[in-house]
Structures are given as structure tokens and as C-alpha cells.
Amino acid sequence: MFHRSFWLSKEIVLGLAFVAFLAVPVIVFGGSKAIYVDKDTSGNEDGSSEHPYHSIEKALNHAKDGSEVRVEKGTYKENITLPKGVKLVSASGDRDDVTIDADNDDKTAVTMKHGSEIDSITIKGGRYGIRIDNNAKAHIYDVTIKDSGRDGIHIDSADTDKSHRVIIDKTTVKNSGAAGVYAEKRYVIILDSDINNNDGDGIDLAVGSKAWLEENRINSNGGSGMKVSLDKSSIFGKKNGFRDNKREGIEVSAFGAAGTIELKRSAFVNNGRYGVARVARTASGATMFGNLSFGIGINSSKFLSNAFGEISAVVQSR
């Protein structure tokens, strides 16, 4: 329906130590079958544009790998699971037109299986706004996720290769009860997104993660803007803003294994503690911060008005 195609720069490829350019296209289902949903119609339901299903769940029960489910304007009180290879999209292309409001806040509002996509939708409530299954590749584009009981987006573990990557693009995650985005060990790409006003950390990435972050605004979260670990991680990015978070702009832990974190041309402004906190979780972890960097020269990051200073000394903490 509404697609955004893009290629990641050579800088990302070099940063992530790949040997060739890394293409990150939007998944497009050639010749896919469209299934229609409209809560305000009545009569026969067969998923056609003339006789749409009245609920998203019913449409998804009839969807197969390659189906695109197009939802008309309205609020849908449901908890749903996107099957393998299925795309869910607002028919108008406007995320404010379609809201999935979790019917049961003790369960995830939207669960995503491998190869699924969600485009131009608002998701409200649920234990998690979105949960991405183990080993599931997924794409979240132009989505608002708000008022989740715990994480706004919760990403279960997978291999850190391209076939299991999660892309979060042009998305807003706000007012979650825990982290905005929490990922177990995984390959995550976050682009042009707003991760704000969550009770916990804005972004929380597990040990051994691989990530690219670009042009995100990670502000006013109750914990740190981002929490990461150096150990066996490859985390790169540029032009991200970490502002007004209650704790650090970024908290970086090290347990003793090598890894690399490099964020260029980013801003760490007015955070409640340090712009960047370096925390050694073991004695050997204290020696591992050599590959933590924030750019030099024209690529330098900006640090301004953080309450405890720019980058902390290495602090020993268990």
C-alpha cells in the first residue's frame, strides 16, 4: 500500500563489518492478495472491498503468507497476531485513522510472526504494544505505540543476521510502563523515530546485540535514553538525540568481552545525570571501553548541560 524503500549507507556496512553494501528494502509482496476490514459495515463478510470483514482478527484468520490486510478508519478493540508474511496497513495510509486498542491489557496488543509488517497504524494499551516472536524478521513503519503496560516494543531473541533483523522506521513509542523498545540479543535497525516519555529506558539492548540507529529522538524517558552493553555488541549510528532523560543519555555497561559502540554526530543534552555513563560490571570490564566512541572532528557528538557532566569516569558496579 504505502511503502518506503531505502538503502543503508556504506558507513553502516563498514561499521557493522559487512563486506558489501547492505540493502534494507521494505518487504514488498508482489501479486499479494488484499483483504479488507471495515468495522462500520454490515452484511456479508468475505474480505473483499465490497464485503469487508468486520474485525482485524477475522481477516487475519483468512490471511496467508503474502496477504495484505487493509483496514478502514476506526478503533478496533482487539488483541491480534500477524501471521507469517502478512502485512497490516491502514487503508488511508494515515496512522491516525486506525487504532488497535487492546481488548485485554494483560496480553500483547499486536504479536508479529516472521516476515510480517505493520504500516500506518496506531496501537494502544496491552501488556506490550508490539511483541516480535523469537527468530522473527519484522518491519514496523509509521506506527504509533502508546500506553503499553510494559515495553512499547518487546523483541524476542534471534540470530544477529540480516534474515532475522527488525526494522523500526518513522515510529513513535510513548507512555510505556517500562522501556520504549526492549530487545533481547538481536539485529535491530531504528530510523527517524520518536521514543519519548516512557517510564523506563527509551531503548534497552541486550548483551551481544547488533544495531544501527539514525536520526532518532530519544527524549524525556524515566530511565536512561538508551541502555546497552559493550560485550560482543556492534552498535553504530549517527544524528541521534538523547535529551531530557531522567538518568543518563546512554548507560554503557561492560562485563569483560570486547565489543564496539560508535555514535557520531549525536546530541546529549540536559540529561539528569551524565550524557554517557560508563559502568564496569566486573574488574575486567573496566578495561573494555576503548571501542566506545562518539565521533571526532566534524563527526563529533555534542554534549551540553548534562547534570553530572559529559562522559563519566569508569564506575565499578555489580
The one-character DSSP state at 223 is: S
Across residues 276-284, what is the average pLDDT? 96
pLDDT digits (tens, 9 = 90+) for 57-101: 999 999 999 999 999 999 999 999 999 999 999 999 999 999 999
16 pLDDT exceeds 60?
Answer: no
Question: Does the model's pTM come out above 0.75?
Answer: yes
Overall average pLDDT of the 312-317 stretch:
91
Residue 247 and residue 269: Cα distance in Å, rounded? Answer: 12
Measured at the CA of 205, the angle between CA 133 and CA 112, to 5 degrees, comes to: 20
Burial class (CB in 10 A: 0-12, 13-18, 19+), 157: middle
Residue 157: its pLDDT value, please?
A: 96
| C-beta of residue 179 within 8 angstroms of C-beta of residue 204 | yes
How do the residues of the chain divide into helix, strand and coil, expressed in percent and rounded to 5? Answer: 10, 40, 55
Question: Could you tell me the pLDDT band of residue 10, with boundaries at 50, 70 and 90?
Answer: very low
> Amino acid identity of 303?
F
Rounded Cα–Cα distance for residues 94 and 73 (Å): 9
Q: What is the C-alpha separation between 203 and 195, in angstroms, rounded?
A: 8
Task: Say if residues 138 and 132 touch (Cβ distance below 8 Å).
Answer: yes
Which pLDDT value is given to residue 43?
87
Give me the pLDDT at residue 32, please. 61
Say if residue 7's pLDDT is above 80: no
What's the pLDDT tens digit per position in 114-170?
999 999 999 999 999 999 999 999 999 999 999 999 999 999 999 999 999 999 999
Instruction: Copy the grid coordinates of residue 153.
Output: 516494543
The DSSP bridge partners found for residue 155 are 132, 183
**pLDDT of 318:** 66
3-class SS at 316? strand
Q: Spell out the residues 6+ positions from residue 297 whose beta carbon is closer than 8 angstroms to its own.
A: none
Domain locations in the chain as residue ranges? 200-318
